[in-house]
Amino acid sequence: MKRTPIIAGNWKMNNTLAESAALIEALKNAGNKNNAEIIVAPSFTSLAKVAELAKGSSLQVSAQDVHWEDKGAFTSAVSPVQAKDAGATHTILGHSERRSVFGDTDEILNKKVAAALRHNLTIIFCVGETLEQREANETIAVINSQIENGLKGFTAEQLKGLIIAYEPVWAIGTGKTATPDQAQEVHAAIRATLAKLYNEDFAQATRILYGGSVKDTNVDEIMAKPDVDGALVGGQALIAEKFARIINFN
């Protein structure tokens, strides 16, 4: 099955309004020879500005997270209603930094998935193992658990359009990267899990991104793997020429 590739840039806690605007303007001229879907995920302070500047271009805009409630006494949180109102069409959920630094559990993420679906935000659902889990040969078991518990209670129809991002925790911001063969092995296992939980058509239609020190120098070999449908890029998503090269992978 031919799946449209996705190149997503997670800006994390970076960029002022001016820096965000400059980066978006540069990315509008990045080219897109692979006809990929291009998504940027700015900080909440830049979300509305980035969405406004992205209008009329092929760039799509994602929130980096959303709360599970639509409104209320949740100081510092941002609801799916607010994210959508600011111009987001997507949201990242379950990024390893949200899991490890902010304590997002599978149960919390399951509520966030419900909230995002309620407001028609396309979900980029992140999964991944730590170095200790990989060395203990627990990678597939850990990821299966994250998928089963995080997406529990939802049907294939409800999750239509879901994007999965495999991010080995040990490769995020460390300069280490899973080899293309390691990425392919896990992506194939994720697709098999989706087929088991839902159905084969759903599994074949779901796009699975690789994230974890994706660079302009390694994107070509990663994207060559049959079950790798795109990349979730961190550091190099902040550098227009590097991200442009990743968008225009060979």
- pLDDT for 81: 98
Q: What is the pLDDT of residues 194-215, one digit of tens each?
A: 999 999 999 999 999 999 889 9
pTM above 0.75, yes or no: yes
C-alpha–C-alpha distance, residues 187 and 181, integer Å: 10
In the annotation, is 90 catalytic?
no
Residue 116 — very low, low, confident or very high, per pLDDT cuts 50/70/90?
very high
- Given the residues 67, 90, 95, 187, the one annotated as active site: 95
- pLDDT for 212: 87
Q: Above pLDDT 90, what percent of the chain?
A: 95
- Given the residues 37, 97, 129, 167, the one annotated as active site: 167
C-alpha–C-alpha distance, residues 221 and 231, integer Å: 12
Mean pLDDT of the chain: 96
> Average pLDDT in the 219-237 region?
97
- pLDDT for 213: 87
- pLDDT for 82: 98
- CA nearest neighbour of 172 among 96, 249, 63: 96
Q: Which residue has the tokens 């069409």?
A: 89
In the annotation, is 167 catalytic?
yes
Show the DSSP H helices in the chain as ranges. 17-27, 44-54, 80-85, 96-100, 106-118, 131-135, 139-150, 180-197, 200-205, 219-223, 240-247
C-alpha–C-alpha distance, residues 123 and 138, integer Å: 25
Q: What is the pLDDT of residues 147-185, one digit of tens each?
A: 999 999 999 999 999 999 999 998 877 777 789 999 999
Tally of CB atoms within 10 A around 82? 19
Q: Which amino acid is at 39?
A: I
> Average pLDDT in the 131-142 region?
95
Q: What angle do CA 221, 162, 158 make, to 5 degrees?
A: 160
- pLDDT for 241: 97
Q: Which residue has the tokens 């700015």?
A: 42
* pLDDT above 90 (res 121): yes
> Average pLDDT in the 20-33 region?
96
Assign residue 53 a region: left if phi > 0, alpha if psi is -120 to 50, beta otherwise?
alpha
